[in-house]
Structure 1
């Protein structure tokens, strides 16, 4: 019986292929898994604002913590209520809430702006998309466009309204019983 030399060649090729694959898998360097350091710290509230296309200076420097839900609802806690001077004097309550979306904050509570002698609630803040040099504040039915550059840096809190205006109106408030309004 004469053997076909091609059959040995096929079997030899198979064995050669098998041993080549086996040797590659044995010689293959082990994949190294990088050591996992401590969990990275969560982003600051100022970084979150920037991620949503809003300037980080919308909030004062006294933020002690925040929560942000998947649906955009947020709560920001400040060390204490405070004031920041922009084009207008702004009052921040200790707790600020609202809904955050890309380029806007709506259903906002805890931020007031002084207009003339009255403090009015800021209900919504919006930016242009793509961002421009303006930012928009809704106070009741009034929309106010301001320069966005004044909100690019985080400002320090003030304890209260300062200056002679506060003292001059203190007696007016007491006499007329306007205790529901903060005047200055």
Structure 2
């Protein structure tokens, strides 16, 4: 009986330790994928994250403020991005804004509807983009077109 209890305690400990190690290895991008989002809604360089799996509060960290263009929109990410994540929905988003004309507007929600991502600003307007536009993470400064900029700047490619 005593051996069985010790064996059971050891088994529980090993299982918990393994679970903690697996969770430590996940990145912010892995978490996005677990909630059915493409990794490209977060720029390259996320240094970490926090997730409260009970209430969905999610925080992602970047080294610095990050901005880049997607289509004709300029996006800006603060070093700390917060929101509440659930399957196919990022709500109460803070730390991400988009420049429309001369005005910066806060993106407050991202919802996935099949193969589209709907970005809502201030809860009153939204824009839809195909999920396939976000399969890779953009890079700060040049977005999704960094390789094109490097080729243009490379004298040997002329």
Q: Paired residue for 2:3?
A: none
After TM superposition, the structure 1 = structure 2 runs for residues 25-174 of structure 1, keeping only pairs within 5 Å, are 39-40=21-22, 41-70=24-53, 71-87=55-71, 88-128=73-113, 131-132=114-115, 134-140=116-122, 141-158=124-141
Structure 1: tracts of 5 or more residues without a match: 1-32, 160-184
Q: Paired residue for 1:27?
A: none
Structure 2: tracts of 5 or more residues without a match: 1-10, 143-158
Secondary structure (helix, strand or coil) at the match of 1:122 reads: strand
Give the Å deviation of 1:93: 0.4
Distance 1:79 1:142 in 2: 30
Distance 2:29 2:69 in 1: 18
Give the Å deviation of 1:149: 1.6
Give the Å deviation of 1:52: 0.4
User: Contact conserved, 1:99 with 1:107, CA < 8 A, in 2?
Assistant: yes
TM, length-normalised to structure 2 = 0.71
Give the Å deviation of 1:42: 2.7
Distance 1:84 1:100 in 2: 24
User: Contact conserved, 1:63 with 1:79, CA < 8 A, in 2?
Assistant: yes
Secondary structure (helix, strand or coil) at the match of 2:25 reads: coil
User: Contact conserved, 1:86 with 1:150, CA < 8 A, in 2?
Assistant: no
TM, length-normalised to structure 1 = 0.62
User: Which contiguous aligned blocks of 4+ residues in structure 1 show a shift greater than 2 angstroms?
Assistant: 36-42
Superposition CA RMSD, Å: 1.9
Bigger radius of gyration among the two = 1
Aligned length: 122
